[in-house]
A and B are shown apart, each in its own frame.
Chain A
Amino acid sequence: MLATKTAADNLAQAAPVKGRSLWADARARFFRNRAAVSGLVVLIAVGLFAAIGPFIAPWNYEDIDWAVLGNVRDAGRPSLETGHWFGTDALGRDLFARTVQGTQISLMVGIVGALIAVGVGTLYGAVAGFFGGRLDNLMMRIVDVLMSIPYMFVLILLLVVFGRSMLMLFIGIGLVSWLDMARIARGQTLTLRGKEFVEAAQATGVRPFTIIMRHIVPNLLGVVIVYSTLLVPSMIIYESFISFLGLGVQEPLTSWGALINDGAAEMNNGLLWILGFPLFFFVITLFAFFFVGDGLRDALDPKDR
């Protein structure tokens, strides 16, 4: 009811404007969405925090404040006087500097992981779904095989055989993250394949690859974006899971996952800020990703509402 009314309004407004592209349209719609815009603002703020944090922090992320070590409960509290704005971790290292550092790594892991997943997964799924038949079968069986291999085991082996490094983490996460995307993209493509515009394109002799890029992939965008907004946080959660297993980034580097993991362990000792600050950044960032994702979906959806 509300939707149809807005749609009608939109149509009425949109009609006289000529030549406005889909993307300009989308942008306008995105900025009308308050939740999405505030999500974007939060993301920018967190990005800035990660970028300029190291320059304003009075402490380095790896230096131990010897005066605090052993007495974190009292001396390590968040305080403006000591310069430990967020307090210190259990070892007397400045939590502000460490949160900044963890933010950098987690954002990087999340975004790179999601990009790999979206890039590889969408294309792979679209190709499989579009061509169908034997190719589809083969491609999806490959995904099945890869999915049937416990990814944690793959990651552990990779980290063990090739040594622990950021690169391995990316490869490991990238290796497994696109599989889900591929299945989802394929599922959607299967429905799209039967749609009139695809049939029309086929009938007029458009090359299959062009159809995929022109007609299938753009129509997948809605689902892809929604899923990748789930993906960035889940990449970050994957990373934290690996940290939980003790296979994450090496000390003195850290990540949100490692910080939260450490913080959760200190929960019993009453040092709540060690969990609180990293968790806060974690939470607002994820919220922001979700709202931005939703906003993008609404904006990119070619159907007005």
Chain B
Amino acid sequence: MSKFTLLMTTALAVGLSGAAFAQETHPETGETLAEDQSFSYRLLDQFPTIDPQLIEETAGGHVARQIFEGLLTQDDQGELRPGVATEWTSEDNQTWTFTLRQDAMWSNGDPVTAQDFVYAWRRAADPATASEYAWYVELSQIEGASAVIAGEIPPEELAVEALDDYTLQVTLQAPLPYFPQMVVHYTFMPTHQATIEEYGADWTSPENIVSNGAYILDEIAVNEFFRLVPNPNYWNADSVIMDEITGLVINDANQALTRFRAGEFDMMDDLPAGSYPQLEEEMPETAHSVPRLCSYYYTVNQSESGHEALQDPRVRQALSYMINRNVITDQVLQAGQAPAYNFTHWATAGFEMPEIDYASWSQEERQQRAMELMEEAGYGPSNPIEIDLIYNTSENHRQIATVVSQMWRPLGVTVNLSNFEWQSYLDIRGNQNFDVARSAWCGDYNEASTFLDLLTSRNANNDGKFQSEEVDRLMAESATMADPQPNYTRVEEILAEEMAIIPIYHYTQNFVLDPAIRNWPMENVENNWYVRDIYRVAE
């Protein structure tokens, strides 16, 4: 039925515009389009939910971006572009007003109004919803968010208001220049109140779901696949070219790659460890490596439960200096990652890379300095130490941990490697039952504070328990500064001096994509892609 409606809408659009919207060519670029406009991709794991307020991982996030539309979306550069909101303004960066388009509709025909956003945002913060991503609302600094999440005041007191059906006003507790960037996130996508109230937890099943994005959920088989089809009521439905999206859940990366090579689907990321160089060589048009806003680092336990030697910044520095990051990026990962000597990813918007001393040294210099520091601290080959390095089960983490443990050996450091599966790993790392732990952080929005806030002393994810009053102060200041860059630079310098964490590399997003698929957002460092933008050309 929906397909029929779509055909009708398309036919209508063609008729109305009068333009030669022939099926075969792209309306803007004029490229010849393939007859088959379906897009399929591989998922590593089944997503636990596609309820925007409950999603807490990337797979569900990708689906949410196709079937829901927030106030704002991102273009292929990661720049903001209108979503449901056409305009967004603020005089003081503290009170934000969003003007909504009037032609936005839910898939059942209801108009999308400001009240839908109010409902969704309150729902995200409401402890009764029990969203594991409620902290994101708090992070956005909306007035009342912390108290609502803590259950101290009712969700109705969250400072989000519908001034009228098409005007949304948000009041923050402090000025936040990058607030519009934050509303792109799935937690802030609207949800349809009547549907949720009618069906409860079942509202996301294909027969019940009501969404406002370019696609709607058609079918889902847990751990096997799901299928999306175009939403005829989407305000911009005419511009949508892809007429079907299929996601295939394939746990094993090698198996997935074999099936990709056999042409079973169009895109996969999370490539098998070590496969990238060969893929790039064999199919340069298909294999891609683009910056991705995540940093890989080792957390050093500086709390009492950590190894005594690790309390000494000189030992931490020595450990960091001994790691030859170029070996890890060029010889282990081999997929375009950048060696990291600071925490914030180099591609972060508006971020100027700080000048970190040891980044400019040669590896020999670093090693020499490391040996000296270790001696000074009273350790070294004559007084060896034994530390536990933990990582969560994954081929890449295993390889890096193995290589690093070998690199540390000349320092008289013996490493016991332990891998744990994810849930245990979080538990162990969160309770500081480790000496050194593999960690990674991905930006929640494209701004440096998403990284640097992590190392403030009260941050829940500061698993190494690094404490620095100066960092706390600098970061608190930066939130309201017009140009926070000097503070960020200083924080990075302190992190390097104290070696609060051991940065290792800055991520790239590595994936293979059928070359016939065009307009993929290669330069979106947050890896936010919208299938409504892409199309398949005829070969």
- For B257, the chain A residues whose CB sits under 8 A away are 268
Contact A268 B332 (CB under 8 A): no
Look across to chain A and name the residue whose beta carbon is closest to the beta carbon of B329. A70
- For B420, the chain A residues whose CB sits under 8 A away are 160
Stretch at the interface among A61-69, A133-141, A214-222: A61-69
Complexed CA–CA distance, A270 and B278 (Å): 10
Complexed CA–CA distance, A250 and B393 (Å): 11
Instruction: Give the most central of A63, A69, A267, A268: most B CB within 10 Å.
Output: A268
- For B48, the chain A residues whose CB sits under 8 A away are none
Look across to chain B and name the residue whose beta carbon is closest to the beta carbon of A262. B395
Interface string of A159-178 (1 = CB under 8 A from B): 01000100000000000000
Q: Is B486 an interface residue (CB 8 A)?
A: no
Q: Is B58 an interface residue (CB 8 A)?
A: no
Q: Which of A64, A164, A252, A268 contacts B272 (CB 8 A)?
A: A268
Q: Is B32 an interface residue (CB 8 A)?
A: no
Instruction: Give the most central of A71, A160, A267: most B CB within 10 Å.
Output: A160
Complexed CA–CA distance, A60 and B272 (Å): 27
B360 → chain A closest CB, angstroms: 23
Contact A64 B393 (CB under 8 A): no
Contact A70 B332 (CB under 8 A): yes
Residues 63-90 (chain A) with a chain B CB within 8 angstroms = 63-64, 66, 69-71, 73, 90
Q: Is A269 an interface residue (CB 8 A)?
A: yes
Residues 412-432 (chain B) with a chain A CB within 8 angstroms = 416-421, 424
- For B419, the chain A residues whose CB sits under 8 A away are 246, 250-251
- For A247, the chain B residues whose CB sits under 8 A away are 421
Q: Is A237 an interface residue (CB 8 A)?
A: no
Complexed CA–CA distance, A251 and B394 (Å): 12
**CB-defined A-B contacts under 8 Å, sample of 14:** A64-B402, A64-B403, A73-B278, A91-B332, A164-B418, A246-B421, A247-B421, A250-B417, A250-B418, A251-B401, A265-B272, A265-B395, A268-B272, A269-B274
Look across to chain B and name the residue whose beta carbon is closest to the beta carbon of A68. B331
- For B399, the chain A residues whose CB sits under 8 A away are 90-91
Look across to chain B and name the residue whose beta carbon is closest to the beta carbon of A72. B274
Look across to chain B and name the residue whose beta carbon is closest to the beta carbon of A244. B252
Contact A268 B403 (CB under 8 A): no
Interface string of B267-304 (1 = CB under 8 A from A): 00000111100100000000000000000000000000
Contact A91 B424 (CB under 8 A): no
Complexed CA–CA distance, A269 and B271 (Å): 12
- For A69, the chain B residues whose CB sits under 8 A away are 327, 331-332, 403
Q: Which of A71, A264, A268 contacts B275 (CB 8 A)?
A: A268
- For B405, the chain A residues whose CB sits under 8 A away are 252
Task: Knowing A160-B424, A264-B254, A267-B254 are in contact, say whether A91-B418 is a contact too (CB < 8 A).
Answer: no
Complexed CA–CA distance, A62 and B424 (Å): 26
Q: Is A304 an interface residue (CB 8 A)?
A: no
Complexed CA–CA distance, A246 and B416 (Å): 16
Point out residues on A near B: beta carbons under 8 Å.
62-64, 66, 69-71, 73, 90-91, 160, 164, 246-247, 250-252, 264-270
Q: Is B398 an interface residue (CB 8 A)?
A: yes
- For A267, the chain B residues whose CB sits under 8 A away are 254
Q: Is B468 an interface residue (CB 8 A)?
A: no
Complexed CA–CA distance, A160 and B424 (Å): 7
Contact B274 A64 (CB under 8 A): no
Interface string of B319-332 (1 = CB under 8 A from A): 00000000100111
User: What range describes how many residues of B lie at the interface?
Assistant: 20 to 34
- For B406, the chain A residues whose CB sits under 8 A away are 62-64
B515 → chain A closest CB, angstroms: 20
- For B421, the chain A residues whose CB sits under 8 A away are 160, 246-247
A163 → chain B closest CB, angstroms: 8
A1 → chain B closest CB, angstroms: 50
- For A71, the chain B residues whose CB sits under 8 A away are 331
Look across to chain A and name the residue whose beta carbon is closest to the beta carbon of B421. A246
Q: Is B382 an interface residue (CB 8 A)?
A: no
A64 → chain B closest CB, angstroms: 5
Instruction: Give the most central of A66, A73, A270: most B CB within 10 Å.
Output: A66
- For A70, the chain B residues whose CB sits under 8 A away are 327, 330-332, 334
Complexed CA–CA distance, A131 and B376 (Å): 73
Known: A70-B330, A246-B393; 13 extra A-B contacts, CB below 8 A, are A62-B406, A64-B402, A64-B406, A91-B402, A91-B403, A247-B421, A250-B419, A251-B419, A252-B402, A252-B417, A265-B273, A269-B274, A269-B275
Complexed CA–CA distance, A62 and B399 (Å): 12
- For A64, the chain B residues whose CB sits under 8 A away are 402-403, 406
- For B278, the chain A residues whose CB sits under 8 A away are 73, 269-270
Query: When A and B form their complex, which 5 residue pairs have the shortest distance between CB atoms, in order from nearest?
Result: A70-B331, A246-B393, A251-B417, A69-B331, A64-B406
Contact B258 A268 (CB under 8 A): yes
Task: Knowing A91-B399, A246-B393, A251-B417 are in contact, say whether A66-B254 is a contact too (CB < 8 A).
Answer: no
Contact A251 B402 (CB under 8 A): yes
Look across to chain B and name the residue whose beta carbon is closest to the beta carbon of A93. B402
Contact A268 B254 (CB under 8 A): yes
Look across to chain A and name the residue whose beta carbon is closest to the beta carbon of B419. A246
- For B258, the chain A residues whose CB sits under 8 A away are 268
- For A269, the chain B residues whose CB sits under 8 A away are 272, 274-275, 278
- For B424, the chain A residues whose CB sits under 8 A away are 160
Complexed CA–CA distance, A160 and B428 (Å): 11
Instruction: Give the most central of B327, B331, B398, B420: most A CB within 10 Å.
Output: B331
